[in-house]
């Protein structure tokens, strides 16, 4: 007791710091650092959960009052208080499917060329160029689509398609320039560099010994790719494709600029104008008045969020199961 | 059954070549077909992309001048003027995004690479991955609902917050990757010298990975500098000088978007010129990053 009183102010601090060290097994500064790190991580977690919660809470009025009919209603009509996003879901799926149908074969083929067929000096500049284009802001692609592609489609592209392939339902209907076709093409241009860049990266990691082994067995260059390169890199290519799909499903600006933003009844025609879920948000938030209108816009956002989340989770599951399969295969061999 | 010299020598090609067969021919044909097809695809892809860049450059180059950085847009599309307020706004909001996103992203990465194990770390890693895949307009919507609607007006602050959230996962992923590359021996050496854990991380591990971390930060900031969708409903845009983040603020991509849809040719021309500025920004950052990290040599 006597001793305690004589201990100086500094001594008390040191003593309590020592006590902390002994009690928790770490220096106080370390504890502080760990605490800070954990705090910031919790902020990140709270942000992600916060985004989901905010979207659900603010779209609750329409979820409650319209339920599933929000997904199948064709009108987005604030005047009559009827809200539905069927045309937008249709537009989102059609434009993304269009982009993937063209971007996957062209992108993977181009990356096979870049990795295996083209001369080495050309490869480096091609790689740099495609990487650069993967980073081009969507507003610039949108500008290209709006000022060049859509007018071209209106005057040359779509009339030509209708004249020569008009018997296919896809190319029937009124020619407007802007519409699903223009949006799909813009999305193709956007995701193409992404597919090329990711597939190229993965194919470059295939060991040279694998290729050489195939060549030594007398394989042609295509057989080397078919049996040594593609099976080795399919998981990575798939990952890149799903990344591209997620980007296409959620892309807002470039699509908004060329899709026409008019809800039309879903039909076979690629020439019709349309909506995507994100372009509904970009177009309507300005007028949205509190109540059903506001919450309908936010529910469109919630749908985009859910769709991309499911895409990403599916991708993760698929990749994990493929990886498991592969390790199992190796063990058997 | 002896092979006479006359049948063997004249060809003098590969003696081990198997005799031609239908199957062999088929393999050769499909090989050539695939090579041609892949070359065509590559030519097409690169052709389209080069055309896009040349189109923007050729249309915007005549209108690229200093006024673009120093003057305000003219009313009603009169010729002249610039987009100075947009350049200023982009700088302010990207700065805000860096202030918000870089510490959060970096400490998340430090947590994942240095402390994290078990379900919490796995959960955080999954969340960060998922965050990368979420369309950016969702973060705009988030900032709109949380900041713009309660405040009753668009603001630069809400734009900065939306961009900051986009920065988090990019910085976190690149930083975590490079932190994993720092050798274990470096950490052990520092701890063996008596340095505390926090000192080891802040003075040894992070500096060792600094070039990679800076690369990630620069790339993420270049990326958000080109974002438009989340700014539509947060910063909204203005045609006046504004440094007050409580009020609407302009951004380069936002100005390009508005000018592209403009009915006036003078503004469309400036949209092209503004696009060149954005492309140059990306070009310069990627060159700087590659030069800085020696990426050209290491990668290829």
What chain B holds in terms of domains, given with CATH numbers, is: 87-251 (1.10.3720.10)
Q: Give the single-character DSSP code of B82.
A: -
Taking Cα atoms as reference points, which of B214, B224, B210, B218 lies closest to residue B97?
A: B224
Percent of chain A past pLDDT 70, that is, above it, reads: 95
pLDDT at A81 over 50: yes
The pLDDT of A299-312, averaged and rounded, is: 92
Considering only CB atoms, which chain B residues are within 8 Å of A51?
134, 138-139, 142, 165
Chain A residues near residue B166 by CB distance under 8 angstroms: none
Chain segment B216-252, per-residue pLDDT in tens: 898 899 889 999 999 998 888 888 888 888 899 999 9
Q: What is the pTM of this model?
A: 0.86
- Nearest CB partner across the interface for B137, out of A27, A29, A278: A278
B169 token code pair: 């996962």
> Out of A193, A220, A301, whose CB is closest to B31?
A220
Encode chain A in three state secondary structure.
CHHHHHCCHHHHHHHHHHHHHHHHCCCHHHHHHHHHHHHHHHHHHHHHHHHHHHHHHHCHHHHHHHCCHHHHCCCEECCCCEECCHHHHHHHHHHHHHHHHHHHHHHHHHHHHHHHHCCHHHHHHHHHHHHHHHCCCHHHHHHHHHHHHHHHHHHHHHHHHHHHHCCCHHHCCCCCCCCHHHHHHHHHHHHHHHHHHHHHHHHHCCCHHHHHHHHHCCCCHHHHHHHHHHHHHHHHHHHHHHHHHHHHHHCCHHHHHHCECCCCCCCCCCCCCECCHHHHHHHHCCCCCCCHHHHHHHHHHHHHHHHHHHHHHHHHHHHHHHHHHHHHHHHHC
pLDDT of B204 > 80? The answer is yes
Q: B160 versus B116: which is more confidently predicted?
A: B160
Domains of chain A plus CATH, in order, are: 2-58 (no CATH), 69-332 (1.10.3720.10)
Q: Whose CA is closest to B256, among B113, B60, B14?
A: B60
CB-closest option in A26, A54, A148 to B142:
A54
- Tens digit of each residue's pLDDT (9 = 90 or more) over A213-267: 888 988 888 888 888 888 888 888 988 898 899 889 988 889 999 988 877 777 8
Nearest to A308 among B49, B135, B198 (CB): B135
Token code pair at residue A246: 């997620």
Contact of B217 with B50, CB cutoff 8 Å: no
Instruction: Spell out which residues of chain B touch residue A247, defining contact as CB-CB under 8 Å.
Output: 135
Inter-chain touch A253–B111, beta carbons under 8 Å:
no
Test mutation, B133, B149, B253, B289, chain A, max A CBs within 10 A: B133
Cβ of A137 within 8 Å of Cβ of B278? The answer is yes
Res A4: pLDDT: 53
Which residue in chain A has the smallest CA separation from B150?
A: A290
């Amino acid at each position: 007791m006597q001793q305690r009183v004589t201990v100086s102010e500094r001594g008390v601090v040191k003593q309590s710091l020592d006590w902390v060290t002994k009690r928790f097994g770490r220096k106080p500064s370390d504890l502080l650092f760990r605490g800070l790190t954990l705090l910031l991580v919790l902020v990140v977690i709270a942000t992600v959960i916060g985004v989901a919660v905010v979207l659900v809470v603010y779209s609750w009025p329409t979820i409650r009052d319209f339920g599933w009919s929000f997904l199948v209603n064709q009108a987005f009509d604030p005047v009559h208080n009827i809200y539905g996003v069927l045309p937008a879901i249709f537009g989102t799926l059609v434009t993304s499917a269009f982009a993937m149908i063209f971007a996957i074969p062209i992108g993977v083929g181009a990356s096979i060329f870049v990795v295996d067929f083209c001369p080495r000096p050309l490869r480096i500049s091609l790689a740099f160029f495609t990487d650069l284009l993967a980073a081009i802001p969507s507003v610039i692609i949108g500008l290209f689509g709006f000022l060049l592609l859509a007018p071209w489609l209106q005057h040359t592209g779509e009339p030509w398609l209708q004249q020569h392939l008009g018997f296919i339902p896809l190319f029937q209907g009124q020619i407007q320039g802007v519409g699903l076709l223009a949006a799909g093409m813009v999305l193709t241009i956007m995701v193409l560099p992404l597919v090329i860049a990711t597939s190229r990266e993965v194919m470059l990691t295939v060991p040279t010994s694998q290729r050489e082994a195939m060549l030594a067995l007398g394989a042609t260059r295509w057989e080397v790719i078919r049996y040594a390169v593609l099976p080795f890199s399919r998981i990575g290519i798939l990952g890149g494709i799903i990344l591209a799909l997620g980007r296409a499903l959620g892309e807002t600006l470039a699509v908004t600029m060329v899709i026409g933003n008019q809800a039309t009844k879903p039909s076979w025609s690629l020439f019709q104008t349309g909506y995507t879920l994100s372009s509904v948000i970009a177009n309507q938030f300005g007028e949205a008045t509190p109540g059903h209108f506001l919450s309908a816009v936010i529910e469109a956002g919630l749908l985009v969020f859910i769709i991309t989340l499911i895409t990403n989770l599916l991708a993760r599951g698929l990749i994990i199961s493929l990886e498991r399969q592969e390790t199992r295969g190796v063990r058997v061999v | 059954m002896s092979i006479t010299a006359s049948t063997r020598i004249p060809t003098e090609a590969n003696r081990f070549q198997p005799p031609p067969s239908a199957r062999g021919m088929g393999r050769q044909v499909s090989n050539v077909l695939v090579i041609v097809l892949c070359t065509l695809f590559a030519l097409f892809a690169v052709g389209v992309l080069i055309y896009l860049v040349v189109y923007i450059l050729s249309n915007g180059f005549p209108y690229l001048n200093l006024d673009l950085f120093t003057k305000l847009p003219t009313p009603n599309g009169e010729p002249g003027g610039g987009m100075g307020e947009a350049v200023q706004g982009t700088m302010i909001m990207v700065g805000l995004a860096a202030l918000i996103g870089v510490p959060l992203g970096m400490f998340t990465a430090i947590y994942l690479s240095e402390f994290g194990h078990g379900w919490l770390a796995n959960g955080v890693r999954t969340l960060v991955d998922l965050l990368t895949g979420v369309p950016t307009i969702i973060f705009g919507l988030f900032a709109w609902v949380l900041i713009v609607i309660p405040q009753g007006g668009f603001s630069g602050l809400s734009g900065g917050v939306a961009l900051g959230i986009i920065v988090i996962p990019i910085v976190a992923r690149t930083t975590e990757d490079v932190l994993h590359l720092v050798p274990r021996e470096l950490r052990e050496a520092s701890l063996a010298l008596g340095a505390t854990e926090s000192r080891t991380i802040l003075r040894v591990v992070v500096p060792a990975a600094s070039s990679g971390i800076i690369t990630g930060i620069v790339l993420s900031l270049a990326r958000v500098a080109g974002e438009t969708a989340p700014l539509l409903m947060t910063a909204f845009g203005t045609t006046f000088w504004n440094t007050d983040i409580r009020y609407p603020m302009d951004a380069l991509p936002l100005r390009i978007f508005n000018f592209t849809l403009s009915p006036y040719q003078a503004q469309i021309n400036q949209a092209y010129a503004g696009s060149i500025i954005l492309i140059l920004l990306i070009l310069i950052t990627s060159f700087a990053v590659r030069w800085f990290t020696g990426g050209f040599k290491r990668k290829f």
